[in-house]
Amino acid sequence: MYIQRPLIAAMLAAGLLAACGGDDAPPTADQQASDLLAKMTLDEKIQLVHGAGYGLPEALGGAGVVKGIPRLGIPDLTNADSAGGVNVVGSNATPYPAPIALAASWDPALAHSYGSGIATELRTLGFAEGLGGGVNLAREPRNGRTFEYMGEDPVLAGNMIAQRTLGTQSQKVIATIKHYAGNEQETNRWAGSNSVIDERTLRELYLLPFEIGVKDGAPGNVMCAYNLVNGLQACESPYLLTDVLKTEWGFKGIVQSDWFFAVTDTVRAANAGLDEEEAGAADDSVGANLGGFQLPVTYFNQKLKAAVQAGTVPMARLNDMVQRKLRTLYASGVMASPPKAGGSIDQAAGNVAAQKVAEQSIVLLKNATPTGGTASVLPLSATAAQTIVVIGGHADAGVISGGGSGAVPARDGNAVTCLVPGAGLFSTCATWYKSSPLAAIKALAPNATVTYLDGSDAAAAATAAAAADVAIVFATQWQTEGADLPNLSLPNNAADPANQAYDQNGLITAVAAVAKRSVVVLETGTAVTMPWLGNVNAVLEAWYPGVQGGPAIANVLFG
């Protein structure tokens, strides 16, 4: 192809101008934010650094909303909890396996697609920000939110959250990394829990996943925690927020408070580096309502304005808070293309993605050869004419999931009826997805005789197991935000009366004593003790496997 020399010269000149940052180069997110900031009034700046309250219609059923400024083209910034899927009732969002399961895959590419998949649904439902990026370490394995996090290894957690963040933000949704820092338990988190951590331990363990996530993932949002760290509220610590996060790690996004009780002083929090208070309120003196519980005060509305006018919070600090908010909106693509509510979730695509994560995350903890056998118990044969008894764990109905902010509502109702219905901020009732492992096992083993016992009668289960070629016992453990586990034993009817009707360890022990081949499938959010481990042939850790947990477990069992 012949190209005229003047055209070649023009193309080269354009390339040089672009490379040198010529006049025709598009403005950066920082430049756009600065230009818009210069047009804002004091009241408009204040409006952008706190939520508008809890449970507002504009929040779309999510966790909250920062009201936009229409005259400047700034959209509402809506956010939703999204640890393992969008936590909005009635949304039909996909319940993915829990983040602890994702971490067990050790697959950064899977973490990227996990973040992208959940973000696609967030945006479809109208949310500009996802609050799902938990990376607190499993240093206290009884922590009620362990299932929301990425395990005990800071390097693994950091790399996985970085990829999840990149996946989220690839869909024009602002990603969050939380809870910064040292928030490793639920006990007393709203009542002065103080994480006392020496510098080396803080750096090498508690901060490392955040550092990797921030540097490699560049999230738009970092959420600071409820607890104190070395005597200071995490959200009021200049060392954590400014010295380490912003100055040392170069974080350019928003530091957002956790939702309630994370802020105790306007001036201290703002000057320490907090950029946004959640859930916020229309009136600081009234506060925000949380499920019928009225918080007495908030701090970043009228109080912050008064502090800026009095000079106790410099105008430069407020401008930095707003600049970070605007820059994040531009950099994420939310400013140019705000999400619109009312879209429909592609449930079929979500199911495929969720099942892939589940199958890659299930962990084989044990696989031994039974007495008199010649091969390990797993994988089971899909073609053999055999008798299989499936026992316990509501395996006939579905799979369990965690509670609190990390919950994802069931699309079509709970598969299991709660034994002791609970109410309040954090219900005691587990969510069960209608994804039956029993049905999936039957589908994969058409030549087998497959029966089910609910596990409530250990003697009957043992009798059935003794007569079968294979006994598969399902065991479950429920966790939730707001409460730590008393211990790591599989819960029985006394420890968790809302979700358990019998002694699970006793059931497994009875079955293992007589079964020819025994398999235990665990659906848990953290570690459990296994006093029966030496007497069973195989153990699978399925975690909280999500909406396609039944087929995923069956596929792994049969190889």
Residue 194 burial class via C-beta count within 10 angstroms: exposed 0-12, middle 13-18, buried 19 and up: middle
Count of C-beta atoms within a 10 Å radius of residue 501: 15
Q: What backbone torsions phi and psi does residue 290 show, to the nearest 5 degrees?
A: -125, 95
Cβ–Cβ under 8 Å, residues 76 and 66: yes
Residue 385 burial class via C-beta count within 10 angstroms: exposed 0-12, middle 13-18, buried 19 and up: exposed
In three state form, how does the secondary structure of 263-303 look? Answer: CCCHHHHHHHCCCEECCECCCCCCCCEECCEECCCCCCCHH
Tell me which of 258, 396, 484, 496 is the catalytic residue. 258
The secondary structure element, H or E, covering residue 448 is none
Query: What are the DSSP calls for 153-179, one per residue?
Result: -HHHHHHHHHHHHHHHHTTT-B-EEEE
> What pLDDT is recorded for position 25?
87
Query: Which CATH superfamily, name and number, covers 38-332?
Result: Glycoside hydrolase, family 3, N-terminal domain (3.20.20.300)
Cβ–Cβ under 8 Å, residues 516 and 469: yes
Asked: is 362-557 a CATH 3.40.50.1700 domain? The reply is yes
Secondary structure E strands in 436-535: 449-453, 470-476, 518-523
> What pLDDT is recorded for position 11?
38
Contacts of 294 (CB under 8 A, 6+ apart): 287
In the three-class reduction of DSSP (H, G, I as helix; E, B as strand; rest coil), residue 3 is classed as coil
CA dihedral in degrees (326, 328, 331, 334; nearest 10)? Answer: -80
d(CA 320, CA 190): 28
Residue keyed to tokens 């996909």: 94
Q: Say which amino acid occupies 5.
A: R
What ranges do the domains of the chain cover?
Answer: 38-332, 362-557
Query: What are the DSSP calls for 118-160, one per residue?
Result: HHHHHHHTT-SEE---B---TTSTT-TTGGGS--S-HHHHHHH
Domains 38-332 and 362-557 alike in fold: no
Cβ–Cβ under 8 Å, residues 143 and 183: no
d(CA 503, CA 484): 20
Query: Which tokens is 516 given?
Result: 């020819």
d(CA 234, CA 257): 9
Residue 58 burial class via C-beta count within 10 angstroms: exposed 0-12, middle 13-18, buried 19 and up: middle
Q: Which of 424, 431, 484 is nearest to 140 (CA)?
A: 484
- 480, β-bridge pairs: 403, 483
**Whole-number CA gyration radius for the chain:** 26
> What pLDDT is recorded for position 23?
59
Count of C-beta atoms within a 10 Å radius of residue 313: 23
> What pLDDT is recorded for position 288?
79
Query: What are the DSSP calls for 467-486, one per residue?
Result: HSSEEEEEEE---BTTB--S
Query: What are the DSSP calls for 332-396, one per residue?
Result: HTTTTS---S-----HHHHHHHHHHHHHHH-EEEEE-PPTT-SS-S-SPPSSS--EEEEESTTTT
> What pLDDT is recorded for position 287?
86
Count of C-beta atoms within a 10 Å radius of residue 133: 30
d(CA 179, CA 133): 8
Q: Which residues of the chain have pLDDT under 50?
A: 1-21
**258 carries an active-site annotation:** yes
Count of C-beta atoms within a 10 Å radius of residue 349: 13
Residue keyed to tokens 């103080």: 194
d(CA 381, CA 444): 9
d(CA 178, CA 201): 18
